[in-house]
Chains A and B, each alone.
Chain A
Amino acid sequence: MTFLAPWALAVGALAAAGAILLHLVARQRPAAVLLPTARFIADRRSLVSTVVRRPRDLVLLALRVVTLLAAAAAFARPVLAPTRSPIARVVLLDRSAAVASPADAVSRVRTLLDAAAPMRLIAFDSTAVALPFTTATLDSIAGAPVAGGVGSITAALVAARRAAALLAAHADSVQVVLVSPVVASEVDDATSLVRAQWPGALSLVRVAARIDSTSSWSLERAIPIDDPRGPAASALRVAAGRRAVRVRTSSLDAPDSAFARGGGTVVEWNESSAGPMAPAALVVGDDVVVAMLGRSLLPAGGRTVARWANGSAAAREILIGYGCIRTVAVGLPTTGDLPLRHSFQRAVRGLLAPCGSGSSGVLADAATVARLRGSGPMARGSALATGGDRPTPLVPWLLALAAVSALAELFVRARPAPEAA
């Protein structure tokens, strides 16, 4: 138990000490003596103060001290504060399809397990779920299949903020550990805003992203090598399947929608509506492609997965059913060495990556990761705590005790004191 206003206790203690001192000073009428000329003494009704070694009126003194201390304790606002540990930890475990090896991520999390520190485990993909941070929980997570959804660091951060508020009352500092590959698809426009709400640095434990392995997904059909996208797609595996990536360079039709709803990814890369070629910079994850590119209009809605240098969207994807449809509004030149550039090939592979992989196949850029990581020390518990201290039920009892003592003091004081003779 601690006190929110300890100065009240100090004041009460001082007052009690003062009461004891006053009781050591016997202020009373002196011994009565017959004096026929008493009428010539000024009627001041003064009392005589004498210092005694033992406090007088012990019952009265006890009541007064109890009154003062009880009132002081009540006004000191006692609260039941939990035992604080130096650090509390919130671990955000990426369970999206962007993680290449969920077992590896779980093993990273195991290294963070600390029995002495209060901890929370939040597993997230598109949503975040708080789980008890136990070995059994980690075992079950490691054995569970990956859902395959798109990860949302924003949702994870929101959940982390809530969990940290609960842990802050138990710790001086709160550390948030993000175990994730941090792919571009996991970062959205709200991420930076939510991240700004966190008063401290984040610890990033980056694990391998699924994008690192091209064998994890496949194209439904191979892209001709004379296509500008061909060189980049030549490294991709081609295998028809329910979860393959279908690339359409023309308008979509009903089978495409059905394919997407069934869990596949349809990439609509129709260059026929693209504008004239013009120098432009295309940003896909960490890769920037500067070349003569054409632009076309994108339908509203969806998540932006690629942008032009001016910030406007170059590619968007819309979740539909169990899959998604990605629309790429980038016109490619038919001449030049652009298809042979590595940056362009990485950008193309990112744009062709399935939505279900949790990323458009691109790791988040360094600046995004740096903003996500932040700087400075861990967040202080006091900056996060929201009413962690619970008022104790003692306060009304203390006030009642003070009131009863005060009333008793009145009755005791009203008793006629024996007069010294």
Chain B
Amino acid sequence: MKFVELMSPTPYGSLLDSLRGIRWPAARRVAGATLGAHPSRLRGNSSEFSEFRPYRQGDDPRRIDWRLLARSDRAYVRLTTDRATLRTHVLVDASASMAFPQPQLTKWRRACEVAVGLSAVAHAEGDPIGLTVVTEPPVVLAARARRSVIVEMIRALDAVTPAGSAPLAPLLASARAQRIAVVTDLLGDADQLLAGARLRIAAGDEVTVVHLVAGEELDPPGDALLAVDPEQPALRRTLDAATRSDYVRRFSAWLAGTADAYRAAGVRYVRADVSEPATKLVRRIVSGVPARAG
């Protein structure tokens, strides 16, 4: 029996097992100096040879390949590819809209599984992983690389019941990580979140937004119903045959517009149906990022 299953109060074991060996490569070279699994912007003295470059004034003389100098009477510097860790932070939207559909709370459960899965994949590569559960007040776990961090994250997520309408954007701005994954339904402060993502991307960070959409939101039940916004109980609209088509059209347009806006901002935008298995979803998220060397 695995350590995670022993320590976790929730059955994430099968998910973590199925994600074993999956990599979540960084989208670009990382600037970290700590030895990790992601290509680093730095080129130092690691054993992974990359290329020779003529010596230039200012280079460290210790990096001159003396054997090549002896053979060719020319001074070359030996370049190696360094690898570094990528500090990763996962923001999980725990607003009231995530508690849907009731009573299964499929959206929230899928969000937790995605957060744990992404964290596990990143943690397996040695990356420090942190978590922020965006609720009121927010639950923040600082990025760490120790083994128990996944269990702590699971406990933190299990302790939260989605409620309220806490904004994501401030916590996105304050997250101390180069890679940030936001698991949300974007029904809160989507515009502010997009603005914050633009700033993080401009600062060289990597932002991934996992947009969870429930099937009941795409295709509400056929009977007429009085739809109540869980984050704004005063917002009540009647959904019947007369308004259904208009709802579907507006919601589809919003989905398309949101995807376009986030992608245009450089955000890795992944829309996911909550009925999609978490393993498949995590694989799709991490594999969608093209690994760019050097």
Contacts and interface: CB of A to CB of B under 8 A. Distances in A.
Interface in B221-249: 221, 223-232, 235-240, 242-243, 246-247
B240 A46 contact: yes
B221 A29 contact: no
B283 to A, nearest CB: 26
Given A40-B250, A48-B238, A34 B102 contact: yes
B239 A35 contact: yes
A53 interface: no
Interface string A24-42: 0000011111111111111
Contact of A36 (B221, B229, B242, B250): B229
Interface in A369-414: none
A355 B169 CA distance: 128
Contact of A33 (B97, B185, B227, B235): B227
A32 B236 CA distance: 8
A415 interface: no
Given A30-B226, A32-B228, A34-B228, A41 B239 contact: yes
Interface in B182-229: 185, 187, 214, 216-217, 220-221, 223-229
B242 A46 contact: yes
A37 B242 CA distance: 17
Contact of B240 (A35, A36, A48): A48
Contacts of B216: 35
Interface string A300-311: 000000000000
B230 A41 contact: no
A144 interface: no
B251 interface: yes
Contacts of B97: 36
A317 B225 CA distance: 102
Contacts of A36: 96-97, 100, 185, 187, 214, 217, 229-231
Contacts of A38: 227-229, 235-237, 239
B243 A42 contact: yes
B52 interface: no
B251 A29 contact: no
A43 B232 CA distance: 14
Contacts of B49: none
Contacts of A32: 225-226, 228, 236
A12 B243 CA distance: 37
B217 A41 contact: no
Nearest to B223: A30
A47 interface: yes
Interface string A142-181: 0000000000000000000000000000000000000000
Contacts of A44: 237-238, 242-243
B220 to A, nearest CB: 6
Contact of B238 (A34, A37, A40, A47): A47
A40 B246 CA distance: 8
B134 to A, nearest CB: 15
Interface in B59-114: 96-97, 99-102
Contact of B237 (A31, A42, A420): A42
Contacts of A40: 247, 250-251, 254
A48 B237 contact: no
A146 B221 CA distance: 103
Nearest to A38: B227
Given A42-B243, A47-B238, A37 B224 contact: no
Nearest to A28: B226
Contacts of A35: 100, 216-217, 220, 225, 227-229, 239
Nearest to B188: A36
A43 B230 CA distance: 17
Given A41-B247, A42-B237, A34 B230 contact: yes
Contacts of A41: 227, 237-239, 243, 246-247
A42 B247 contact: yes
Nearest to B102: A34
A31 B96 CA distance: 20
A389 to B, nearest CB: 54
A300 B232 CA distance: 108
A31 B226 contact: yes
B222 to A, nearest CB: 12
Contacts of B246: 41-42
Contacts of A43: 237
A34 B247 contact: no
B162 to A, nearest CB: 10
A39 B235 contact: yes
B239 to A, nearest CB: 5
A40 B97 CA distance: 14
Contacts of B96: 36
Nearest to A46: B238
B187 A31 contact: no
Contacts of B101: 34
A404 B99 CA distance: 50
Which one of A31, A33, A45, A420 has the greatest number of beta carbons of chain B within 10 Å? A33
A157 to B, nearest CB: 76
B80 to A, nearest CB: 51
B47 to A, nearest CB: 52
Nearest to B244: A41
A33 B225 contact: yes
Contacts of B243: 41-42, 44, 46
B256 to A, nearest CB: 13
Interface in B272-290: none
14 contacts: A32-B225, A35-B100, A36-B185, A37-B217, A37-B247, A38-B227, A38-B237, A39-B232, A40-B250, A41-B227, A41-B246, A44-B238, A45-B238, A46-B240
Given A33-B221, A42-B246, 5 more contacts: A32-B236, A33-B227, A34-B229, A36-B100, A48-B224
5 closest A-B pairs (Cβ-Cβ)? A36-B97, A41-B237, A38-B227, A35-B227, A38-B229
